Each structure stands twice: as structure tokens, then as C-alpha cells.
Structure 1
Amino acid sequence: MHTVDVMIVVLASLSMTNKKKKDFFRNERLSMKISYYDAEGNKIGSYFSHTLRDMKTIKDYHVKKEINSNIPRDYEIYSNFAYPTGFEKGNIPQEIMVAVKAIQY
């Protein structure tokens, strides 16, 4: 039974063209998860950004725009939040954690 499982995985892998494999792994590496947490450490929401993967250079304002564009409804970022900076293609973190608070209406 294990032999069959291994053969299926190998065949599936072989059926993917080299370009598709390259694009798949490239997209995985250059995607960014943005998670929003309240002051108690509860996760309010997450967003998985794919827009950075095709950029040749990642400017700090691109990252800030991604963070600000996906804030969960009825929440805002704390005014003293320090936006992350200095990203390059090779050092995108797996997750950016953003501190948010409920909007007081």
C-alpha cells in the first residue's frame, strides 16, 4: 500500500511542468500573511497577501498599504503601531502581526 502512495505522489509531481513548479514555489515564498490581534492577544482576522509576489522591489509603503487595506471591519490600528520596514524578496516573514482596537462609535 505504501508503494502505491509513493508512486501517486511521484506521478503527480512529474505531471507538473517545471514552469508551474517554479511559479508555485515562488508564489508561496513571496506571499505574506497579515494577522490582526486585539490587546488581549485574540486574533481578530487574517489576510493572505499575494500582491507582493510580482514586485521586483518591495517598498515600505507597499507593505503599509497591504496592512491598512485589510483591517477587520469595526477595528483600527493603534496609533503607536510601528509598521514593519526593510522587506526584500528573500526576507518576507511568514506572518506580520498587527495590533488593533475596536472603533468606539
Structure 2
Amino acid sequence: MAVEPLSQKEIEDRLAELPGWSVDEDRLTRSYRLGSHLAAAALVVHIAQVQEELNHHSDLTLGYDTVSLSVTTHSADGKLTALDFELARKVQDLAPAHGAS
């Protein structure tokens, strides 16, 4: 199933529902700070599980006590789609359980 890029208005509307997320050069991005490296690593594993379920994967970076995501849809010529925002929403919903801010 082909995914269509979102319009600028659709991107702005969806971004307004995701505090802390931003768009940088057609990529949806967010960084989280956690209480420890182990907590950050656990969040990465949980995000990886969600990405597998969606079959949609971000660039995911683990720092000492941070996790950063950057996502776009390659099959839509690197543009943002509803799938990117679905992944972001799922991450946004699970991050607090890991103590992420």
C-alpha cells in the first residue's frame, strides 16, 4: 500500500498534538532525557519493538541518558506521512513509563 506525503497544513496540525516533537528538513524529530543509561537503553528496546510492529523504523540514537529519534518515510521520497506521526504518537505514549522527559 502506497503512502502519500502529508500537506504542510496536515503536518502542522499533527505536530501541534505532539509536544516536544519538531520537523527538521522533512524529518520528524524528538529527543528524550532519562534518569540513567539503562533507562535510556530500555526505552530504545521498547521503541524498536513498536517499530517492528508498525514495520516503520526511525533513525534511533542512544546516548548516555538520552534517546533521539528522527523519522521520515523513504517510500514517499523522504517526505512525512501519517505513518511517521503514528510512530511518533506511539513513542510519545510509551516514553513516560520509562521516566522520559
Tell which has more relative contact order, 1 or 2 (C-alpha 8 A, sep 6+): 2
Determine if the TM-score, normalized by the shorter chain, exceeds 0.5. no
More helix by percentage: 2
- Relative to its length, the structure with more strand (as a share) is 1
Q: TM-score, normalised by structure 1?
A: 0.30
The structure number with the bigger radius of gyration is 1
